[in-house]
Amino acid sequence: MKIAQNPSFADLAVANRKIKSQFFAQINLIVDWRQISNLINKHYSRGMSATGQPCYDGLLLFKMGLLQTWYGLSDYEIEDRLNDSISFSKFCGLPLDKSAPDNSTLSRFRTELTEKKVYEKLFRAMNKQLEKHQIIVKKGILVDASITDSPLKPKGKANYEIVTDREQEEISEQEIAAVKMVRVNSPGVDTEAAWVKKAGKLRYGYKKHVVTDEEGLVLGLLTTAANLNEITNLEDVLDTLEIAEGTRVKADKGYQSQKNRDLLGEKKLKNHIMKKAKKNQPLTAWEIKFNKLISKTRYKIERTFGGMKRWFNSGSAKYRGLAKMHTQNLMEAIAYNLYRSPGIIVSNAKNS
């Protein structure tokens, strides 16, 4: 039986979905946690704690990571909240007579799953469940990128090589190779991040390249240093998920290039990248109309980035290094998709 046919679920108010008891009940209706637990257990080596006791269950630790993302908590804060909050403990499956895992346990869990690239598998497994419930529908896809600023940036007046985001229509392989940032080997600097100049402002950090469905739910995600221009890696972004032939690919004019037009043709995907005017060659009336039609849907991926920043503070890097930043981005994508799912189910029920 589909979730949308359950009247008790549909009666839950969308405006109150982040009230803990209601929200957690909704998520538990959506997610088959056994599948997620089995996937984690294939890769997570629990072992024994320093006191010789069995380590905490991997699903409990993963749920702690979700709570961290939804409520903007650090490793220390989620430990305290789990000990104090009955609703948090119940959601995680932590008995009331047992203490929450300490912050170091959570950190080791995240590191191990990051090194084994398990978060990618968890992200895909969650999305399969959302597809099953018709929360995710792949009629068309949206592509865009967003910068995540790192607080661990170089200081001083050294000369850093900086890329201007989306400055050119076409970028050659030689130009891509030339965009290698000057790294600062300092304990206080994240040397895997990079500088980029966007809208006249210098920013240091990472860039997440995202594919969403036409409602803005995240389907695929790639993390790079901030200096990688979107126009150069559309193929890598599309390769983060399976896309059926004939799918509409919508993106802003920053992705417009002959290489990308050829790429979509080779993959037998419909090219709905917004048109870009050239020097002495303004857009035609048809191209202007085409861009307006695309923008009516494409804005939803911008809403996705905006929602993540408002709800999860996704515009700020919480970790050091590309691998852990990719984990942060994947957890935010999982959390975002789940956070919006109850509202989509209610909407689907009303429209059915």
pLDDT averaged per 10 residues in sequence order, the chain, 352 residues = 44 46 92 97 73 75 97 95 93 91 93 97 98 93 96 70 53 43 64 90 95 97 94 94 95 94 97 92 94 93 95 93 98 97 90 77
Is residue 90 one of the residues assigned to a domain? yes
- Give the pLDDT confidence score for residue 161 in this predicted structure: 54
Distance (Å, whole) CA 147 – CA 188: 20
Number of domains in the chain: 2
Is residue 170 one of the residues assigned to a domain? yes
* Cα 57 from chain centre: 25
Closest CA to 197 of 163, 242, 243: 163
**Alpha-carbon dihedral sign for residues 239, 243, 246, 252:** negative
- Give the pLDDT confidence score for residue 135 in this predicted structure: 96
- Give the pLDDT confidence score for residue 352 in this predicted structure: 73
Category of 223 on φ-ψ map: left (φ > 0), alpha (ψ -120 to 50) or beta: beta
Cβ neighbours around 68 below 10 Å, total: 21
Is residue 344 one of the residues assigned to a domain? no
- Give the pLDDT confidence score for residue 54 in this predicted structure: 55
First to last CA, the chain: 15
- Give the pLDDT confidence score for residue 16 in this predicted structure: 42
Is residue 238 one of the residues assigned to a domain? yes
- Give the pLDDT confidence score for residue 55 in this predicted structure: 77
State which residues form the domain around 226: 137-319
Is residue 144 one of the residues assigned to a domain? yes
pTM of this prediction? 0.86
CA distances from 39 to 31, 36, 276 (A): 14, 5, 44
Tokens linked to 22: 């209601």
Residues 6+ apart with CB under 8 A from 23: 17, 342
Q: What single-letter DSSP state applies at residue 133?
A: T
User: Do 67 and 201 sit in the same domain of this protein?
Assistant: no
Is residue 54 one of the residues assigned to a domain? yes
User: Do 198 and 88 sit in the same domain of this protein?
Assistant: no
Strand partners, 148: 206
User: Do 184 and 292 sit in the same domain of this protein?
Assistant: yes
HSE at residue 338, side-chain half, CA atoms within 13 A, is 30
Is residue 167 one of the residues assigned to a domain? yes
Closest CA to 130 of 335, 352, 350: 335
Closest CA to 60 of 71, 73, 46, 48: 46
User: Do 105 and 158 sit in the same domain of this protein?
Assistant: no
Is residue 278 one of the residues assigned to a domain? yes
